[in-house]
Amino acid sequence: MSHSRMGPRTIAPPLEPGAPSDFELMKGIQAGDADALSQLYDRYNGILKALILRVIHNEAEADDLLQEIFMEIWNQAKNFSEQKGKPLGWMVTLARRRAIDGLRKKQAYARAEERLQNETEQQPEAWVHNATEEQIVFGDRRVLIRKVISSLPPAQQQAIDLAFFKGMSQREIAAKTNTPLGTVKTRLELGLKKIYDGLKDLKDEL
């Protein structure tokens, strides 16, 4: 596999000099190179596991699902193309879909709903965490993303959290939070637009 120059600053752990880019790793996987999958796993297992945990709140199930998702990445890599965006975005979309499907299929939803009920009754689960160490390690883009998200009103953060990480529809969010449907829609629209606009500075890197 060819090595590339160090890529632009990334939110993932900075690439070591000469490390292959995500695109190069995906091409490797498409060509059947298991080492490429191994490198991609090392690079992103933490982020994808965090995403899965956000959905299903069970450590053991999250580990199993993580393995399934990377196996699916291996099997479905042929369906990825650069026209579809960045490899990480593709993997996140796949992981999120599998995690939400898993949540529903395993009938853990009722248990998750109960936990969610407890969470929503207390305080919205913290989405972003202040982590100075991570700022140093992961660079400015992650800081910017967290800054954008944490600048949203809590109600908008909560609505987006329920939609994206729990796969809830607007109606389900309205029922869960005891909020009018129109208000939920407005919160989602405003919150997503703010995040999207805030990310424009990173458009070349995301």
Partner 1 sequence: MNFEQFQNQSRLYVIGALDPEELEEFEQARKKLGKKGEDFISKCYALHEAFALSLRPAKSSDAIKERLMAMVKAKKQS
Interaction site with partner 1 (CB under 8 A): 11-12, 32, 34, 37-38, 41-42, 45-51, 53-54, 62-63, 66-67, 70-71, 74, 83-86, 88-89, 92-93, 95-96, 127-129, 131, 134, 141-142, 145-146, 149, 160, 163-165, 167-171, 185, 188-189, 192-193, 195-196, 199, 203, 206
CB of 145 to partner 1, least distance (A): 5
CB of 104 to partner 1, least distance (A): 12
Rg over CA atoms, the chain: 18
Measured distance CA(188)–CA(151) in Å, rounded: 14
CB of 86 to partner 1, least distance (A): 6
Q: Which is nearer to partner 1, 86 or 106 (CB)?
A: 86
Encoding tokens for residue 38? 């191994």
To 5 degrees, how large is the angle CA 22–CA 23–CA 26? 85
Q: Which is nearer to partner 1, 3 or 193 (CB)?
A: 193
Q: Which is nearer to partner 1, 20 or 66 (CB)?
A: 66
Three-class SS string for 89-110? HHHHHHHHHHHHHHHHHCCCHH
Which is nearest to 154 in space by CA: 184, 124, 177? 124
Q: Which is nearer to partner 1, 20 or 48 (CB)?
A: 48
CB of 206 to partner 1, least distance (A): 4
Residues 6+ apart with CB under 8 A from 118: none
CB of 155 to partner 1, least distance (A): 15
To 5 degrees, how large is the angle CA 182–CA 188–CA 193? 130
Measured distance CA(69)–CA(48) in Å, rounded: 9
Q: Which is nearer to partner 1, 93 or 117 (CB)?
A: 93
